[in-house]
Amino acid sequence: MRIILFGPPGSGKGTQGDLVERRYGFPKISTGDLLRRAVREKTPLGIKAEAMMNRGELVNDEIVEGLVREKIAAPDTRQGYLLDGFPRNLAQVQSLEDMDGRRPEVIIVIDVDERSLVERMQGRLTCRKCGAVYNLLLQKPRAEGRCDVCGGELYKRADDRPDVIRERLRVYQEETKKIRAHYQAKGVFYRVDGSGTVDEVFGRISGILDRELASGEANKAQR
């Protein structure tokens, strides 16, 4: 199954994407994670992207499309994949459809009100070594400042500052209105309430995926 997880920055897409990957086995392709890794490793692409990311602006379409194309072509995505943070505008929607003509079956938008988003992003910490994400409000690390998974140092993302957060939310609202309309018209669009605990939100998402998987199986059996 091809899934697009959608939602404003701070809505918990990354965390939910990891849980979906763990339960259903669809590899998560996160353009934000891929870009942050390129920045950490100081690759030519990372050096190009860093300033735009730190200002909360979108990185050039060609850069992210290249990253996604490479991942989608990998053999582990044959059964499907989950996109997190891509597509972010209509040009990227088009390029995804060119890359993978099979239409995505499920688009899930995680909706969270703006005040909670700002609070969450200000409390967010990321592991410098493995990229795991924590939240001082919802998902604290066991030891202060250290990653539960690998023991790496936790840091605050440069783009999780209040002024940049506001810019990222503005960019999200502006770009995604059109994307929502596009997928709503295709009839593959679901909205999920992103309030509550990580487990509560995952319960809502897995409810949708279980129903979709069951109906896919039923359709196959009828053929």
Q: Active-site residues: which are they?
A: 13, 88, 124, 157, 168
First-to-final CA distance of the chain: 18
Helix axes 198-222, 13-24, angle to 10 degrees: 50
Nearest approach, Cβ of residue 68 and ligand AMP (Å):
8
Kindly identify the residues of this chain, within the stretch 124-183, that bind ligand AMP according to CB under 6 A.
159, 168
Residue 64 touching ligand AMP (CB under 6 A) = yes
Residue 85 touching ligand AMP (CB under 6 A) = yes
The binder of ligand AMP chosen from 56, 104, 131, 194 (CB under 6 A): 56
Long-range contacts from 159-162, C-beta under 8 angstroms, 24+ separation: 159/53, 159/54, 159/55, 159/56, 160/121, 160/122, 160/124, 162/118, 162/122
Q: Which helix (H) or strand (E) holds 122?
A: helix 114-122
Nearest approach, Cβ of residue 159 and ligand AMP (Å):
6
Residue 53 touching ligand AMP (CB under 6 A) = yes
Q: Which residues bind ligand AMP (CB under 6 A)?
A: 9, 31-32, 35, 52-53, 56-59, 64, 85-86, 88, 92, 159, 168
